[in-house]
Each structure stands twice: as structure tokens, then as C-alpha cells.
Amino acid sequence: MISEFFSQLAFNLQHFVFIFLIYKVTNSNTAVSALIISFTIPSIIFSILAGVLVDRWNKKAVLFNTNIIRGLLLIPFLIPNLHFIFILINTFLIAVVTQFFLPAESAIIPLLVPRRLITPANAVFSIGIYSTIFLGYILSGPALLILGDQKTILLLASLFFVSAIAIFFVNFTQKKKKILKESFIFGKLSKSFFSEVNEVINFIKKGKKLTKALIVITVAQSIVFTFAALGPGYVATILNVEIENLSWIILGPAAIGMIFGAIYIGSINKKYRNEIFISMGIVISGIVFIFLPLGSKLASKGFVHILNRFIPGGFLDLTILHIIVLLSFISGIANSMVFVPSNIIIQSQTTDEMRGRVFGFLNSMVASFSILPVIIAGGLADVFGISKVITAMGIILFFGGTAMLVKNK
């Protein structure tokens, strides 16, 4: 848990620190999209391979080494005035290493707890992730303002190193699976690798629930990446505040909502079907996306003034920012309603031997299907405006989630 905390904190801080830096330099949604693509492309190229190898390797060693390497790869960012292209290349390399970290982290839970405790353990795991999302997202802007660029990079590297030290002291047992020496010949994958990829694809095809869960997470994560590309521009152009305020206006409240949602779902999961949670989460996300661009219009009309009349003693004068914070919190709850049940389905529907490869396949799917929406959304936002793009995303999510909810009932 300690290792997960520091590693995920560094991971989430890193993403938005880089996004802030890129947008401040370029003032372009397209440039932010390019940055996001630089850390999603490695998932397409390496995630399936990483899943296969992680299933064969010692997962503790994978977690330790990937944290050390990511910390070292951050050191070049201490050089002032780095070129935009160099930032993209180094971000790409960090993402490559992360592809080996993610399946090892996800697959390690069943090795630490008995099968009957997978659901509560996954809830605790999700709470840990969402807690670091909260801290990482909300601290990314202030870190840059208070520490400056170079000290913030040092902080990120230090967090990865601390995570590596923490995982060193974790003890668990796993079944050993030998790595065939002939797996690689002159940098090309042998038939052994492709047969294992075919094996994981066939395994996924046989499980209807597993297939649906993988598709849901892929679509949901694509939406998250797309909004991440639009976030700085949304704050700067629609809310008219400095982009560092994205941390406490949107990211922080959303992360708190994720934590709250994960705790709640973990406590009542057995009472309701996972599919119902997922469908409702998508519908709620769609509603939030539709209302986000309307925040300023609601604040300027009688709606907010009417609400202020019911607040005793003038304790709080509602503004557009309060509305956006509330919407962000609700979106966090909605996200947890999608991700937590989907992860529970995946973990319960996979075996120890296949789990790493399945999560590797998931990472590849997420990256593959995220690139086009991120590119399109960034370009459309620069041409037609962020409000129209976010509203369109909300409408699609609302009707898609409604159709799923009707089908699952």
C-alpha cells in the first residue's frame, strides 16, 4: 500500500505537471493532445508484450525496477528550457517503462489476499489509487507555483525512488513460470510470444462479462484522456482563471468523489449487479459533461440567486466556481461507479496465469482507442471551441449509458 501510494502519487503528479507546462508554453489544446498521445502510444506497442512477460517474471522485481527507472528518466527534465520535442520523447520512454509496471501492480492483488477478499481488497486498492489521484491532481498546480519547475521534477523522482524502497520489503509468493530463451531473436518476437497473445485473446473471447468489462474501461479511460487534453483550455477560456487552478476546481473534487464512490461501492457491491453500477455511472458522467459548459450561464441567471436565498446568514455566496466544483465531485463518483465494478469483474473472471496478460491487453486497448478521440477533440476544440466538444461528449455518454441501463435491467 505504501509503495502504491508513492508510485501513483508521482505518476499522477507527473501527468498534470507536464500538461500544465506544455499548455503554458503553447496555449494550444492540440499540443496538450500531442503530449497525452506520447504517453499512450507505448501502451499500443508494448502493453501486450509487457503483460506476457510480467506473467513470467517476478512481479516484485518488476515493480521495484520500473519505479527506479522512471525516477532516473525524470532527471533530464532538470535541464532548463527543454525543447517541446525532447519532452515528448522522454515522456514516451517513461510511458514505455510504465507498461511493465501497470500489469504487475494490478495482478499482484490476488497474490496478497485470498480469493474471497478480492472485492474488498480491490476497493482498498481503488481507494489508494483515488487518494493519490486526489493528492497528485490537486497538488500539481500548487507544486509548480510554490516549488518551481526543477524542484517539482526532483519531488517526482524522489517519490518513485521511495516507492521502490517500499516494494522491496513486501513479501508474497507466486507460481514461477520460466521465460523461454528463444522468446526473442534479433529483436523480433518468436512464435512463443504470438501464441501467448493468441491465447489471451481467445481467453477474453470466451468470457462475455470479461469482454464487456474490458470494453467499458477502454471507452471510459478514453473519455478521461480526452477531457485531460481539454482541461487546461476549459479552465483558461470558459472559467477565465489561471490553468493551475484546474487542480482544485476540477481535479481535486473529482478525485474526492472517486474516493467517496469507491468506499460506497466497496460496502454495497454485493447488493447490486456490477453492470447496473457501470450503466448509472456512464449516464451520470454524461449529465455532468452536458452541464459543465453551462456553468457560467447558470451563474448569470436567477438559478444561482434563488439558491443563495436558501443559504442561512450569507454563509456562502454561490458562484460559477462552486457549481463546477460540485459537478466535478459528482463526476468523480460517476467514474468510480464505472472503474471499480469493471476491475472487480476483470479480476474475478481471470486466473493467476492470465491476469497480467489480460491487463496488458487492456492497456493496449485503452491506448489504441484513445489516440483518435484525443487528436480529434484537441483539434475540434481549437477550431469550434471547447464548450461544443464537451457538450457533444456528454450527449454521447448520456444516451449510451441510458441504452446500457435499459438493457441491463
Q: What is the mean pLDDT of residues 292-310?
A: 63
Return the percentage of the chain with pLDDT > 90, whole number: 13
Question: In this model, does residue 122 exceed pLDDT 70?
Answer: no
The CA distances from residue 308 to 300, 311, 321, in Å, are 13, 5, 14
The yes-or-no verdict on residue 9 having pLDDT over 50 is yes
Q: Which of 217-226, 244-253, 267-276, 362-371 has the lowest mean pLDDT?
A: 267-276
Express as a percent the part of the chain with pLDDT over 70.
Answer: 77
Residue 362 has pLDDT above 70, yes or no: yes
Angle, helices 84-107 vs 352-384, to 10°: value is: 150
Residue type, 219: V
Residue 73: pLDDT band (50, 70, 90) is very high
With a cut of 70, say whether residue 295 has pLDDT above it: no
Per-residue pLDDT, 111: 60
Q: What is the pLDDT of residue 315?
A: 54
Task: Please state whether the predicted TM-score (pTM) of the whole model is above 0.75.
Answer: no
Domain ranges for the chain: 2-170+207-408
Cβ-Cβ contacts under 8 Å for 114 (sequence gap 6 or more): none
pLDDT at 70: 93
pLDDT at 265: 79
Which residue has 481507494 as its cell numbers? 127
For residue 189, which phi and psi values (nearest 5 degrees)?
Answer: -75, 140
In this structure, what C-alpha cell is assigned to residue 386? 471547447
Maximal C-alpha separation, the chain:
75
For the cut 80, the answer to whether the pLDDT of residue 341 exceeds it is yes
Query: What would the mean pLDDT of 265-292 be, rounded to a whole number?
Result: 82
Distance CA(201)–CA(170), nearest Å, equals 32
Kindly compute the dihedral angle of the four CA atoms of residues 301, 305, 310, 311, in this order, to the nearest 10 degrees: 120
Most confident segment among 131-140, 189-198, 313-322, 344-353:
344-353
Q: Would you say 156 and 13 are in contact if contact means Cβ atoms under 8 Å apart?
A: yes
Query: Could you tell me which CATH number the domain at 2-170+207-408 has?
Result: 1.20.1250.20
Q: What pLDDT is stored for residue 383 in this prediction?
A: 86
* Closest residue by Cα to residue 3 from 86, 84, 93, 109: 109
| pLDDT over 60 (residue 301) | no
Contacts of residue 257, defined as CB under 8 A and 6 or more positions apart, other chains included, come to: 328, 329, 330, 331, 332, 333, 334, 335, 336
The residue with greater pLDDT, 271 or 365, is 365
> Residue 115's Cα: distance from chain center in Å?
26
Q: What is the mean pLDDT of residues 186-191?
A: 47
Res 186 pLDDT > 50: no
Q: How confident is the model at residue 402 (pLDDT cuts 50, 70, 90)?
A: very high
